[in-house]
Amino acid sequence: MYARVSAAKQKEDLVRQAEFLREKAREQGYPHVLVYKDIASGLKCRQDERTPVGGRMPVV
């Protein structure tokens, strides 16, 4: 799962997004998930720079 905000001052929002994603995953029967968290402006970095370690994230 992927949570993202565009500025460091939104870090609290990032924490809330990650918890929301974890809770929704648990509700759907996925008790263990990885949440990639990112603080970056989409205008300042290319898509390939946001690729997580280990390759592209699978779409489930």
Question: Residue 20: pLDDT above 80?
Answer: yes
Q: Can you tell me the distance from the alpha carbon of 13 to that of 1, in angstroms, rounded to the nearest whole number?
A: 15
pLDDT band at residue 55 under the 50/70/90 scheme? low
pTM value is 0.63
Mean pLDDT throughout 26-34? Answer: 91
pLDDT band at residue 18 under the 50/70/90 scheme? very high
Q: Domain residues of the chain, as ranges?
A: 2-42
Strand runs (DSSP E) across the chain, as ranges? 2-5, 36-39
Q: With H, G, I as helix, E, B as strand and everything else as coil, classify residue 32.
A: coil
Contact predicate 22/35, CB 8 Å: yes
pLDDT above 90 as % of the chain: 40
Question: Residue 30: pLDDT above 60?
Answer: yes
